[in-house]
Structure 1
Amino acid sequence: MASRQAHVATGWAAGVIAAALVAHAGMVGPFHVWCVCAFIAGISGGTAPDWLEVAWWSRRRRLWIKHRTLTHWGVAWIALVMGSYWAMPCYPYAAVPFGFAVGGLMHLVCDTPNPYGVPWLLHRVSLNWWKSGRCDLFVVTFAWAAAVAAADMVWFRSVHVRAAIVLMQSWHPFA
């Protein structure tokens, strides 16, 4: 598991990705309202798998289910992403659950590298790369690189990504 701060930072990145994908689908609405809603929902979804486990209806605010079980199940988040994306042409407000699900999926991707892992399909998947809270900078950098690439693809037709690739190719050590 990444730290709470890392999940918040990657949630913002997921919001940018969700807004870009909503714009790419053509569901912008007046004043880009659906892009903004998807962005806000993506931020909220970035921490959702953790706060959905808390029993907010009780005074003690304990977990009502074990950590990293049902709320971290990858199939449910992927189904919500796909279902809401396919529903957007008929129901533009599906951009809100889409953004929320993109944030939740980003949360699971950030939790997968640690030893405890995430239940993606039937069993837990762990890359076992580092312990919880370590390498947050790497996780946040990866999430924001994906967000910048998605935004560049949708709003700038990948001109900046292509320029970065050309720049990196010019730095080849054997050239």
Structure 2
Amino acid sequence: MASSKAHHATGWAAGCIAAAIVAHAGAGGPWHLGTLFALCMGVCGGTAPDWMEVAWWTRKKRLWIAHRSLTHWGLGWLAALYWSYHALGSNVYAVPAFGFACGGLMHLLADWPNPLGVPWIATRHSLNLWNSGRCDLIIVAGAWVAAFVIADHAWFDGVHTLYAINYVKSLPLHAWLMRAGLPVLS
């Protein structure tokens, strides 16, 4: 499990991704309120798999189901994302559902490297890269790079991504990696 701060940061990135896709699909509505709503719901969805496990209707606020069980089920979040994306522009609930599903899926991607893993289809699967709370910077940076690339593609036809790639190629480190025979951006 990534830390709470990492889930909040990746939730903001998921909200930006959802807003860019909603705007690109033309489902933002008047004054782009739908785009703003997708952003807000993406932020909420970024922490949703954890807070949906809490029994808010009781005084003790204990978990009503086991952690990383039903609320962390990847197939459910993917189905919500698929339905809401295809319903953008035709269903009033599609925009908030899309933002929420983007955030929830981002949460699962942040939890995946942990040894506990995430139940994507039937059983848990883990990338087994690091323990909880470690390497959060990698997860947050990856989420924001994805947000940058997707938003750039949606709003600017990817021109800034090409500039960024060309800039990295111009760095001396890039030339050194090529001489060393290591994989680099081409």
TM-score where L is the length of structure 1: 0.97
Q: Could you list the per-position Cα deviations for residues 92-148 of structure 1 after superposition, in whole angstroms to 9, with x for gaps in the alignment?
A: 441001100000000000000010000000111100000000000110000011111
1 CA distance for matches of 2:18 and 2:84? 11
Which position in structure 2 is the counterpart of 1:63? 63
Matched residue SS, 1:173: helix
Distance 2:31 2:58 in 1: 40
2 CA distance for matches of 1:65 and 1:122? 17
Cα RMSD after superposing both structures: 1.1
Query: Which runs of 4 or more aligned residues in structure 1 lie more than 3 Å from their structure 2 counterparts after TM superposition?
Result: none
Aligned to 1:6: 6
The answer on whether the counterparts of 1:34 and 1:93 sit within 8 Å (CA) in structure 2 is no
The worse-fitting range, judged by mean Cα deviation, of 36-45 and 146-155 is: 146-155
Partner of 1:157: 157
Which one-letter code corresponds to 2:175 in the other structure? P
Residue 134 of structure 2 aligns to a residue in which SS?
Answer: coil
**Greater mean alpha carbon deviation, residues 86-95 or residues 159-168:** 86-95
Query: Over alpha carbons, which structure has the higher Rg?
Result: 2
What amino acid sits opposite 2:51 in the alignment? W
Which residue matches 1:16? 16
Q: Which segments of 5 or more consecutive residues in structure 2 lack a partner in the other structure?
A: 179-186
Aligned pairs for 1:11-160 (under 5 A) are 11-160=11-160
SS in 1 for 2:26: coil
What do residues 35-80 of structure 1 show as CA deviations (whole Å, max 9, x unaligned)?
0000000000000000000000000000000000000000000000
Report the alpha carbon displacement of residue 88 of structure 1 after superposing the two structures with TM.
Answer: 1.3
Structure 1 stretch displaced more, 64-73 or 143-152:
143-152
* Structure 2 CA distance for aligned equivalents of residues 93 and 78 of structure 1: 16
Does the 8 Å contact 1:18/1:39 carry over to 2? Answer: yes
> Can you give the 5+ residue segments of structure 1 that lack an aligned partner in the other structure?
none
Distance 1:168 1:144 in 2: 17
CA apart distance, 1:150: 1.1
Distance 1:28 1:38 in 2: 9
Q: Which amino acid aligns with 1:128?
A: N
2:175 maps to 173
Letter in 1 for 2:162: R
Is contact 2:169–2:175 with CA below 8 Å preserved after alignment? no
In terms of mean alpha carbon deviation, does 151-160 or 32-41 score higher?
Answer: 151-160
Q: Tell me the number of residue pairs that the alignment of Structure 1 and Structure 2 aligns.
A: 175
Q: TM-score, length-normalised on structure 2?
A: 0.91
